[in-house]
Amino acid sequence: MIMDLTTLLSNAQAITGTANSTNILDLGAPGTIPGPGGTALIRDVGKGEPIPLLVTVVQAFNNLTSLTISLQVATDTAFTSPVTVDVSPTYALADLAVGARYLLPDSLPVGTNLRYMRLVYTVAGTAPTTGQITAGLVMGRQTNFA
């Protein structure tokens, strides 16, 4: 997999309770149609060619009962009115060992249509004291694991 620091949402981010990803991605402002009236273009980066998303556990979790990961988009960096585009299944503690990956869909889902994007990690149960996640857009996803 090829990862780029500018497309990482979390870089070995410690999850010690419900939290947003450390980073947000600016998907850019949509343009306008040239000419009189310049209608704003509507975009959805989830349509068309898949954009791979990787979410992987880089340090095993302890204590928590389960973890859910949501993908949110918004029109502003403060996420004043966030829109949840996708929610992962609920992962039990046993599912969150080092190397667990692909905790969300293979690629950005349809509906990823606003300018800013982040992940939200929702912890259930006791707050973990260990557990880290690295997540972001990648060039491609490795599929030849043993």
pLDDT in tens, the chain (146 residues): 678 888 999 999 999 999 999 999 998 877 777 777 777 777 777 777 888 888 999 999 999 999 999 999 999 999 999 999 988 889 999 999 998 876 777 778 888 888 899 999 999 999 999 999 999 988 766 665 55
Place of tokens 């009189």: 36
68-84: b (≥16 Cβ within 10 Å) or e: bbbbbbbeeeebeebee
Amino acid 5 reads: L
Domain 3-138 is found in CATH 2.60.120.1110: yes
What does pTM read for this prediction? 0.87
* Number of separate helices (H) and strands (E) present in the chain: 0, 9
User: Residue ranges of the domains in the chain?
Assistant: 3-138
Q: Tell me the β-bridge partners of 59.
A: 132
